[in-house]
Amino acid sequence: MRGCALLSARADFDDWASQPRRFLEHAREIGAIRTPGFPSSFDEWSRELRRFRPIDAAKRFAPRPLLVMHGDDDESVPVADSRVLAESHGSAELRVIDGAGHRLRHDPRAIAVLLGWLDRQRAMSA
């Protein structure tokens, strides 16, 4: 993988891991989890959520290019999470979209930023 873009990403999943049943209820509400019977064990799922550390992944991903985007009106994930991820990477491009919420894939400004970033990455690797 030569580069990566993160949209409205979390820096960690500790809050979800501490309340896995509440998180599952929310995830089912928004359609992110649809599998009946998932998870088979809340304790194991909680441990898995704690083990996955996006902050550490961002550090390991460097020096490859990383775009971190977040909406400043995101009510699901604090914009501070994206700032922490960008700082952890060390040379990430951080773009905070004014007035945007959590679902950046539906925001034409965010898509324009992403496409521009992808074009620049392609041009630099050519």
Residue 126: Cβ-neighbour burial (10 angstroms; 0-12, 13-18, 19+):
exposed
What is the rounded distance in angstroms from the CA atom of residue 121 to the CA atom of residue 2?
9
Question: Number of helices (H) and strands (E), helices first, in the chain?
Answer: 6, 3
pLDDT tens figures, 38-70: 999 999 999 999 999 999 999 999 999 999 999
Number of domains in the chain: 1
CATH number at 18 reads 3.40.50.1820
User: Over its length of 126 residues, how does the chain's per-residue pLDDT go in tens digits?
Assistant: 899 999 999 999 999 899 999 999 988 998 889 999 999 999 999 999 999 999 999 999 999 999 999 999 999 999 999 999 999 999 999 999 999 999 999 999 999 999 999 999 999 887
User: Phi and psi for 8 in degrees, rounded to 5?
Assistant: 55, 40
Domain, as residue range, for 82: 4-125
